[in-house]
Amino acid sequence: MRKKVRALRKPLPVKEFAKTPTAEGCFSGHLAHDCAGLKAILASSADLRERLLTTSKGTQGAVLYFANVVNLPFVSESIVGPLQRHGGRSDMEYIAQQIVHVPEYSLESDLQKVACALSDGAVAVLLAGETCVLLVPLFAMEHRPIERAIQEDILIGPHESFCESLGSNIALLRRRIATPDFKVKELTIGRRSRTTVAILYLERIAAAKLVDEMDERLRSIDIDFALGITYLADFLEDDPRSVFPTLRSTEIPVRVMAALMEGRVAVMAEGDSSALIAPTFAPEFLQASEDYFDRPMSGTFFRLIRLVGLLLSVFLPGMWIALVAFHHGIIPTPLFDSIVAGREGVPLPTVLEIFVLILAFDLIVESSTRMPTRIGQALGIVGGIILGQAAVQAGLVSPAMVIVAALTGLSIFTQPSVTFLSPLRFLKYPVLIAGSILGVFGVVWALIYILIAVTSLRSFGYPYMYPIAPFNLRGAIDVFVRVPKFMHQKRPSILASPEEMRMDTPLPRPTRRKKP
Are 249 and 375 in a shared domain?
A: no
Residue 54 confidence class, pLDDT cut points 50, 70, 90? confident
CA dist 71 and 102 (Å) reads 12
CA dist 234 and 238 (Å) reads 9
Q: Where are the alpha helices (DSSP H) in 226-372?
A: 233-236, 253-262, 296-325, 333-342, 350-370
Q: Is residue 383 within 8 Å of residue 364, measured between CB atoms?
A: yes
Share of the chain above pLDDT 90, in %: 33
CA dist 283 and 307 (Å) reads 10
Tell me what the mean pLDDT of segment 62-82 comes to.
Answer: 86
Are 410 and 265 in a shared domain?
A: no
Tell me what the mean pLDDT of segment 480-497 comes to.
Answer: 84
Are 181 and 112 in a shared domain?
A: no
Tell me what the mean pLDDT of segment 409-418 comes to.
Answer: 88
SS (HEC) of 440-493:
HHHHHHHHHHHHHHHHCCEECCEECCCCCCCCCHHHHHHHHCCCCHHHCCECCH
CA dist 8 and 62 (Å) reads 41
Which residue, 184, 269, 265, is CA-closest to 226? 269
Residue 498 lies in a domain: no
Instruction: Classify burial at 333, counting beta carbons within 10 Å of its beta carbon; exposed 0-12, middle 13-18, buried 19 or more.
Output: exposed
Domain boundary among the residues 257, 280, 303 is at 280
Q: What is the pTM of this model?
A: 0.82
Residue 424 lies in a domain: yes
Residue 356 belongs to what domain range? 291-463
pLDDT higher than threshold 90 for residue 214? yes
Are 248 and 318 in a shared domain?
A: no
Residue 340 confidence (pLDDT): 84
Residue 11 lies in a domain: no
| Cα 174 to Cα 195, 259, 269, 277, distances in angstroms | 22, 14, 16, 17
Tell me what the mean pLDDT of segment 373-391 comes to.
Answer: 67
Are 304 and 453 in a shared domain?
A: yes
Q: Is residue 337 within 8 Å of residue 450, measured between CB atoms?
A: no
CA dist 354 and 430 (Å) reads 13
Are 245 and 334 in a shared domain?
A: no
Give the β-pairing of 248-250 and 195-202: unpaired
**Mean per-residue pLDDT over the chain, rounded:** 84
Residue 153 lies in a domain: no
Per DSSP, the three-state class of 185 is strand
Tell me what the mean pLDDT of segment 442-452 comes to.
Answer: 95
Instruction: Classify burial at 481, counting beta carbons within 10 Å of its beta carbon; exposed 0-12, middle 13-18, buried 19 or more.
Output: middle
Residue 373 lies in a domain: yes
Are 96 and 37 in a shared domain?
A: yes
CA dist 460 and 462 (Å) reads 6
pLDDT higher than threshold 70 for residue 376? no
Instruction: Determine the number of helices (DSSP H) and then strands (DSSP E) in the chain.
Output: 18, 12
Tell me what the mean pLDDT of segment 19-44 comes to.
Answer: 74
Domain boundary among the residues 119, 137, 155 is at 137
Are 443 and 304 in a shared domain?
A: yes
Residue 383 confidence class, pLDDT cut points 50, 70, 90? low
Residue 286 lies in a domain: no
Are 131 and 178 in a shared domain?
A: no
Burial 183-205 (b: 16+ CB within 10 A, else e): eeeeebbbeebebbbbbbbbeeb
Domain count, the chain: 3
pLDDT higher than threshold 80 for residue 88? no
Domain boundary among the residues 137, 157, 188 is at 137
Are 47 and 78 in a shared domain?
A: yes
Per DSSP, the three-state class of 195 is strand
Residue 150 lies in a domain: no
Instruction: Classify burial at 87, counting beta carbons within 10 Å of its beta carbon; exposed 0-12, middle 13-18, buried 19 or more.
Output: exposed
CA dist 45 and 56 (Å) reads 31
Residue 257 confidence (pLDDT): 93
Torsion of CA 510, 288, 236, 160, to 10 degrees: -100
Residue 210 confidence (pLDDT): 94
pLDDT higher than threshold 90 for residue 57? no
Residue 31 lies in a domain: yes
Residue 378 confidence class, pLDDT cut points 50, 70, 90? low
CA dist 208 and 359 (Å) reads 46
Are 201 and 307 in a shared domain?
A: no
| Cα 312 to Cα 6, 325, 351, distances in angstroms | 77, 19, 17
Are 27 and 86 in a shared domain?
A: yes
What's the gap between Cα 243 and its chain centre? 17
Q: Which residue has the higher pLDDT, 387 or 202?
A: 202
Residue 512 confidence (pLDDT): 63
CA dist 476 and 111 (Å) reads 57
